[in-house]
Structure 1
Amino acid sequence: MKILTYKNLNMGETIINFLFLLFQQAIFFGFIFIYVYLDYTVYIQKDYKDAGTIILVIHNIVCLVINFFYLRAVKNAIFNFFTYEEYKINEGKLYYEKKLKLFKKIFCLRKFEINLSDIDDIFILPPKEFYHDRWTKDIFAKYTEYFKPCKRIKIKLIDSKEYTVCNYVKKREYNKVYAEAAEAVFQTIANNIKDFILEEKENYKFQKELVNLEEKYNLPLEERYNFILNKIIDEEILFVARKDGNYIINGIYDAIEYLEIFKTIYFEEVDFYLFYANLLSKKENQDKKVLVGFNGIDGKEVTMSKLKDDINEIRDSKSTFLNN
């Protein structure tokens, strides 16, 4: 299993903003109690019960609405800014987990799994845009604005389903150089996450192809023989080795290059038409033995003339199919 972990890159900035957020929320909680006390003493105790009740309700609704936005910002901070993300890849699947470590305990707040073969593409999304007026003038709104999550990576699947991950927020910087440098750091990390997933997807696909090739090279002799000849004709390339004075003929570059069964055999890549003209078509080679589809244990032994006839038969059948 391979694991990549992503953590908040601006934790110091996040902690400072979070403390300001809690301070402001505490102030508004205090306002609620003050309004309750004042409304009760000024209106209700002085026989303005109906008017006092209405004013009390209005004051508290306003304060509760404001506190709702603060509570939501606190929740967003805990669930998105103080968490870390793990991307795990194992046996062709991506396992995503967003975790929070609190009081030496780890809580999993979100998780999903995706088959790597289902991933269509991965996109890095643009940075969060702050409202300029809010950030520069409205001291009460800028902290709730800061803690709105901004997920910067989108994983798109073949069936068009999408997952967004990797929360990243950086306050607006007036120093352009500093802002660009901070974004460049994130882009590097985001690309590392993207490359990690896509490279493992390609690697898994390649490993599956190698398993399939190994299965092909372990087919019964006749099936293996026909498979190799078809591949040689389609790809117009074959791989030739010598053993005990005879030729070994195989096909498919990835099989020759990466399968363990061929690690101890030196194969030379040969153009099909050159092989056909220089070896198969020469009369003195007709009775020479050729081992086709050799897998380290066995292969089909035929003469050059038989190999030529079988190749011609397959080529003729393919030509007939195309013409039809």
Structure 2
Amino acid sequence: MRKRYYNVERSARTSGKGKYQILKRLLRHRRSSIFELAADYDGTLIELTRDLEALIGEGAIKERNGVFQLRRESIPEHYKKLIRLEEELNRNFDEVSLVRRFKQITSGRPKPKKEHWQGFMSAESAVRRARFIHERCDDCLSRILLIGDDDLVSVAISLFGQAEEIVVLDIDEELVHYINQIASEHNFWIRAFPYDARSPLPKAFRNYFDAFVTEPPETLRGLRLFLSRGFQSLQGTGSAGYFGLTHIEASLRKWKRIEHFILSSGFVITDLLRDSARYPEKENAWEDLYAKYPIVQRWNAKPPKIDWYRSSLIRIEAVEQIKVRNVSVRSPAELFVDHESWATDNVFYSMNFQK
């Protein structure tokens, strides 16, 4: 028996996602060294060693002199579905083609509604987001909740074909109907339901999901509300969350308060992809709204000719028992507007430009 060189508490990460990352790497590359595996693995070398030993013990992989291979003749049944789906994706994967297919599928998407403060990211951004979720193995045979989805990221995730269940909750009933129609036409396992995030999360969706994705309003109350709904949806340690945040309407002081909220709720921040989502001006058709934006009013500016609005993607993961706060928001004004909302239609109060 090989000597064990470690003695630390087992991490939740080793329960599934780490093993899946190893198997996916060995599917793409027939042989991989310990260091090649480490380069693609989300975790410590101790956790990697644990997962490798577990996979060897299960008969899924074999090793010689620090080089690893799949044992196709003895892969356990519970890994075969993932391997089949990943092989199919590897045969057909082409990000340009995925973006093209995403655009074709979503060509009839509803126009953004200003009463819901909607504005969707580009097709390229949505597919890149889904790809990042896939690389982290947060879609691997997983349940994913999207709290708001005018970006149609649920469709992009479905194109990777590995999520077992995707649920969308959105206040826009037209969008809900459209997503369900797409799911039916393309045989995607997506279910969409009308939902106002100011209402409690339905009990059926609490402690149920492996990951959540959301693009929350950028007020402090809005961020805390949407994140708290996401926290409540997750199963527990090892579950992940994804959300967008800008430097355009969220100061670093606000970032700090949100980071503290995340950390004190039992999560850590694992990744930040700066300005990874871009919002197309032409497709969103915001021209009529710009006159009401404080930044335009302050400088008497003309509508932009570039896709200037961008958002960063933040990934978080639960590392201890999740603490869910009771966050209440009464009105849309509280949810969407604060003194930093300078690229928002501030219809609820007159802006004090001296703030």
Instruction: Give the TM-score normalised by the residue count of structure 2.
Output: 0.20
Say which structure is richer in strand: 1
Say which structure is richer in helix: 1
